[in-house]
Structure 1
Amino acid sequence: MAFLEIEHLEKVFGPLRVVKDFNLSIQKGEFISLLGPSGCGKTTVLRMVAGFETATSGAIHIDGKNVVDKRPNQRNIGMVFQAYALFPNMTVAENVGFGLKVKGVAGSEIASRVTEMLKLIGLSEHGSRYPFQLSGGQQQRVALARALAPRPQVLLLDEPLSALDAKIRVSLREEIREIQKKLGITTIFVTHDQEEALSISDRIVVMHQGIADQVGSPFEIYNRPATKFVATFVGTLSMLEATVIDAASGKVKIGETEVTLAEPVTGHKAGDKVSLALRPEALSMEKTQAREGKVRGVVQSVNFLGSVIRTKIDVAGNIVSFDMFNNPAYKPPVVGETIDVWFANSDLLLVRD
């Protein structure tokens, strides 16, 4: 059994099944992100693991023990919230040591642990300050230190960076990951920001309408989306509707163009409609030995994005985006022009609904 095992977890609010048969195995020291849009159930899963929401059914095992019926303070879990939730009338040091004080830890041990935690988050000189005297990023560091001070078995973070500006978010998420690696603590991180999840996770759980649509490494989630929702939610991806010509050989038709996928179209037969996906960076106007697939389309728009030029073309009614590096020596495509774009067959992804 994994260190944290979630089995057949469900949550029902009245007529709504918010979380549906959710299963996840997390190894000790792993950093897992629950990624998805608002209302997909990711925070509800986190709150059930924490004990703040009662599971309608299912089991949550931490280090071999089912804690689904335990109160939050019986689960040995640290929680960091979106809104910091620091006590305004307490100093930074008092906030960090609060959980230890509640547990009845001796004063000398609390002082030692607080010193250790403030050093860990880079705020050793701020122990006597109050939350209102700190920046948002500093307050979230204090919230993290407070959660870690009692040495929890599991760390839960509920969109801890969403209230911060973009630059601080990037630096703080990297700090959180470094601290997590240093301590080796099993962590679940909830976010709706795909870049955030891709950059710091060991694995990502993409959630959609209460279910785990796909679980995989950032590389797998981005490069091999398993469902249409994952394909459209994570990164920029063009969807193409195609007709199967020969399932065994992977031959399909997009409009009037025949292309061959890198693998058979399992579970389909000739004449079936299937959904394909292509990343913008997989396409090029230049044919190479590696790019054997081709589609033809009419240029709909050309957007200059600095180092990258993103072009959209209409391929048999499908809008396809492709990126090219900005090179002053090359003229970009022109709206209304008919062009060919090339790709490797392995880049054309078959996705299910």
Structure 2
Amino acid sequence: MSFLDIQEVRKAYGAQLVVHEFNLPIAQGEFVSFLGPSGCGKTTMLRMVAGFETPSAGRIRIGDEDVTHLRPNQRNIGMVFQAYALFPNMTVAQNVAFGLKIAGKPKAEIDARVAEMLGIIKLPQLGARYPYQLSGGQQQRVALARALAPKPKVLLLDEPLSALDAKIRVSLRDEIRSLQRALGITTIFVTHDQEEALSISDRIVVMNEGRIEQVGTPFEVYNFPRTRFVASFVGTLNLLRGKVLDAASGRIEVDGQQIFAGRGIADLKTGEIRSAALRPEAVTLAATSSADRNVMHGTIDEVHFLGAVIRIRVRFKDNLISLDTFNNPNIPPPVRGSAATVSFAREDVMVLEGAEAA
């Protein structure tokens, strides 16, 4: 049963519809990421859950309560912003205590909760410092502690790591996930970073132009994308455009060569032009003699030496395939312009939705 339920929510600014028919049930304690490019509507949807924006239609429920038209301070949610939004004239301890003081909690309870939260975020000795005396990662920890101190029902995170450098970002996202699991709090995390979403989410909501493209676990979204957008946005992907020769068997002609798709969709029709998706890690630079593998012949188009990995691009005619191989100092990389044979399992070929123009 869902704890946070978003039902048929739309948001329009004048004639412009920025969120279309958004439906999403979220279980208690679940960590859900809204993933998509800038302008796709993910932050607008988060702000409607928070109460900073009012839906043009639909409703939002938290537990048994309809909160669609309640003010933010009536929803019992905690929110962490991209820019930290700490009060510069307050110490770390005063920032963490802010929500508790607004709620009228007794001083002894506030002091105990602040000490607990500073311990949880691993900054127990920094309560007397001011935000300007902290690093970016420390400031974001304090912002997280401030959001969690009043024990909210739902935690909302609006791209909280985007202002941090890469190493700190990886460390802090792991800490956020660990803390969320320990507290069991229902969480929505907004990001445009696919690696972040894949690494810490229970489920991912992929959004594009105000619409949900796909909802699923990281494993499902990465391995079984339902649309061309999801396939291209989440992870690195090869797209092979070809003609369907036999819909029943999944046989497709790509640049004069025939391959079989092990995964397709129900409305595949013989004669139409479709794109098939293939992850680089599924491709092997060599022919593999097996009935369940596809083999294609092409030419080495590019070779990029990246240290531990060599990235190779093979051209057939109009289509290209990229693949990665591990660097072996005893085996030189292929030469640009040389002939190449690649193979990949039929099960790794996914036909995407929607026929294309010939």
Answer yes or no: same fold by TM over 0.5.
Answer: yes
The secondary structure found in structure 2 opposite 1:125 is: coil
Pairs within 5 Å for 1:18-57 = 18-57=18-57
Which amino acid in structure 2 is aligned with residue 299 of structure 1?
I
Which amino acid in structure 1 is aligned with residue 216 of structure 2?
G
Pairs within 5 Å for 1:192-203 = 192-203=192-203
Give the corresponding residue for 1:12: 12
Structure 1 gaps of 5+ residues are: none
Give the corresponding residue for 1:342: 343
Pairs within 5 Å for 1:226-245 = 226-245=226-245
Distance between the aligned counterparts of 1:45 and 1:346, measured in 2?
36
Distance between the aligned counterparts of 1:264 and 1:116, measured in 2?
52
Give the corresponding residue for 1:310: 311
Residue 275 of structure 2 corresponds to residue 286 of structure 1: no
Deviations 1:47-106 (A, max 9, x none): 000000111111111112211011000111000000000000001000000001001111
The secondary structure found in structure 2 opposite 1:126 is: coil
Distance between the aligned counterparts of 2:303 and 2:178, measured in 1?
40
Which amino acid in structure 1 is aligned with residue 276 of structure 2?
L
1:315 deviates by 2.3
Distance between the aligned counterparts of 2:97 and 2:352, measured in 1?
49
Distance between the aligned counterparts of 1:215 and 1:265, measured in 2?
17
The secondary structure found in structure 2 opposite 1:97 is: helix
In the alignment of these two chains, the number of paired residues is: 353
Structure 2 gaps of 5+ residues are: none
Distance between the aligned counterparts of 1:183 and 1:128, measured in 2?
26
C-alpha RMSD over aligned residues: 1.2
The secondary structure found in structure 1 opposite 2:17 is: strand
Deviations 1:91-130 (A, max 9, x none): 1000000001001111110001001100000011001111
The secondary structure found in structure 1 opposite 2:82 is: coil
1:263 deviates by 4.2
Give the corresponding residue for 1:122: 122
Contact 1:249-1:263 at 8 Å conserved across structures = no
1:269 deviates by 2.0
Contact 1:89-1:130 at 8 Å conserved across structures = yes
Give the corresponding residue for 2:134: 134
Distance between the aligned counterparts of 2:240 and 2:35, measured in 1?
24
The secondary structure found in structure 1 opposite 2:98 is: helix
Which shifted more, 241-250 or 151-160? Answer: 241-250
Distance between the aligned counterparts of 2:184 and 2:263, measured in 1?
39
Residue 246 of structure 2 corresponds to residue 246 of structure 1: yes
Distance between the aligned counterparts of 1:264 and 1:247, measured in 2?
9
The secondary structure found in structure 1 opposite 2:119 is: helix
Distance between the aligned counterparts of 1:308 and 1:268, measured in 2?
36
Give the corresponding residue for 1:80: 80
Give the corresponding residue for 2:147: 147
Give the corresponding residue for 1:180: 180
Identical counterparts, % of pairs: 59
Which shifted more, 290-299 or 101-110? Answer: 290-299
Contact 2:22-2:211 at 8 Å conserved across structures = yes
Distance between the aligned counterparts of 2:171 and 2:289, measured in 1?
40
1:264 deviates by 5.5
